[in-house]
């Protein structure tokens, strides 16, 4: 298995990342069940906001970490967004926007996370936000790796969601 920080391209985003991203969404739908604002409407096709992701990548605010097998097939990915804190401007922060590893390759989870953390260190990140459901296995793995649950995001839906067909 090869772990790398790759440049995000439109082709990667619309192909490999969207494919695994959909699997991630589907799996999270099972884990979250009725605990999020999409309750009852989670079984739909994701629509990535490609211009925003690509703009972040072009400006250096986003990296994509990849986990590829010997044939070069994407088996896992993480999209990480970097920004300076809105409350403490000098503090560089990172937000793990997406994280997924195919079930058959999850033995590489800790080494993949460690490689992501190296990117944090290399860039001088002070604080990392890693949105994760407390009901999933990733939550427990992150706790073992020194992460602590902090704020809870409260959700409430204000309008009907109309997914694409």
Pairwise CA distance, residues 83 & 145, whole Å: 23
Pairing of strands 62-68, 92-101: unpaired
| Closest of 149, 150, 155, 146 to residue 136, by C-alpha | 149
Residue-level pLDDT at 142: 95
Residue-level pLDDT at 25: 74
The model carries a pTM of 0.86
Q: How far are the Cα atoms of 103, 121, 145 from residue 23, in angstroms, in the given order? A: 10, 29, 25
Residue-level pLDDT at 47: 85
Domains and CATH numbers, the chain: 2-144 (3.40.630.30)
Residue-level pLDDT at 34: 64
Residue-level pLDDT at 161: 67
pLDDT one-digit tens code per residue, 38-83: 555 656 677 889 999 999 999 999 999 999 999 999 999 999 999 9
Write down the residue that tokens 């097998």 correspond to: 69
Pairwise CA distance, residues 91 & 120, whole Å: 13
Residue-level pLDDT at 49: 94
Residue-level pLDDT at 78: 97
Segments of the chain scoring below 50 in pLDDT: none
């Amino acid at each position: 298995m090869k772990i790398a920080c790759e440049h995000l391209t439109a082709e990667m985003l619309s192909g490999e990342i969207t494919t695994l991203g959909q699997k991630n969404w589907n799996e999270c739908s099972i884990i979250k069940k009725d605990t999020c604002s999409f309750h009852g409407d989670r079984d739909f096709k994701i629509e990535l906001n490609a211009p925003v992701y690509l703009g972040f990548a072009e400006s250096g605010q986003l990296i994509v970490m990849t986990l590829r097998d010997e044939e070069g097939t994407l088996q896992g990915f993480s999209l990480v967004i970097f920004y300076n804190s809105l409350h403490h401007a000098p503090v560089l922060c990172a937000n793990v926007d997406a994280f997924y590893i195919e079930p058959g390759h999850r033995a590489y989870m800790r080494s993949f996370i460690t490689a992501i953390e190296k990117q944090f260190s290399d860039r001088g990140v002070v604080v990392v936000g890693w949105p994760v459901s407390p009901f999933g296995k990733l939550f427990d793995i992150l706790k073992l790796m020194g992460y602590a649950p902090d704020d809870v995001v409260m959700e409430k839906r204000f309008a009907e969601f109309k997914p694409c067909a």
